[in-house]
């Protein structure tokens, strides 16, 4: 069976207890429900959110507080209830990252649409924080890579 993704990850080899379930899918990808979080490289500030359902679907993600220590997204009661969040221990949060060809040393973090996962249930959701004032593309300048 051809299971390896273009990224060399065999999605059939991912243990079920590592899977994060996005019941509603995510905006733009309503049919991608199962994801897994993978390391990119040792000590990298970035990880990979990999779809288990569609191996070609993955995105780079990061913990936003590494770069935006004042980031304080507020989840509504409805949003908290949707993931059975009772307290801070029920929240793992990360944001997607966009690279652009024009910005060699800058990446852009989506602070408006954070991914929130309840580690206890391994269910997640991408919340759309409309009206929060947080941008879709918050620039992060990274240390330049020596040529």
Partner 1 sequence: MLVLSRKQGESVVIGNDILVTVLEVRGDQIRLGIDAPRSITVHRQEVYLQVASENSAAIASADRESPLLRRPVPGAVAKPDLEP
Please state the closest distance from residue 62 (CB atom) to partner 1, in A.
Answer: 8
How far apart CA 104 and CA 99 sit, in angstroms, is 8
Q: Which is nearer to partner 1, 3 or 99 (CB)?
A: 99
For partner 1, the closer of residues 3 and 98 by Cβ is: 98
Among 145, 101, 88, 90, CA closest to 123: 90
Q: Which is nearer to partner 1, 13 or 112 (CB)?
A: 112
Contact of 37 with 47, CB cutoff 8 Å: yes
The token duo for 75 is 């989840």
Rounded to whole angstroms, the Cα distance separating 139 from 61 reads 14
- Contact residues toward partner 1 (CB under 8 A) are 7, 20, 23-24, 26-29, 37, 39-48, 57-61, 63, 65-67, 78, 81-82, 92-94, 96-100, 104-105, 107, 110, 112-113, 117, 119-120, 122, 125-126, 128, 130, 136-137, 142-143, 145
Task: Identify any residues that bridge with 59 across adjacent strands, giving them in sequence order.
Answer: 49
């Amino acid at each position: 069976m051809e299971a390896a993704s273009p990224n060399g990850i065999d999605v059939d080899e991912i243990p079920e207890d590592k899977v994060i379930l996005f019941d509603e899918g995510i905006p733009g990808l309503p049919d991608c429900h199962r994801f897994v979080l993978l390391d990119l490289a040792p000590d990298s500030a970035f990880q990979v959110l990999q779809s288990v359902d569609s191996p070609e679907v993955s995105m780079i993600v990061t913990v936003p507080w590494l770069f935006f220590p004042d980031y304080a997204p507020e989840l509504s009661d409805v949003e908290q209830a949707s993931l059975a969040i009772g307290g801070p221990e029920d929240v793992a949060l990360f944001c997607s990252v966009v690279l652009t060809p024009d910005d060699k040393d800058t990446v852009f973090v989506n602070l408006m649409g954070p991914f929130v996962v309840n580690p206890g249930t391994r269910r997640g959701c991408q919340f759309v924080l409309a009206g929060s004032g947080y941008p879709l593309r918050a620039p992060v300048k990274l240390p330049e890579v020596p040529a």
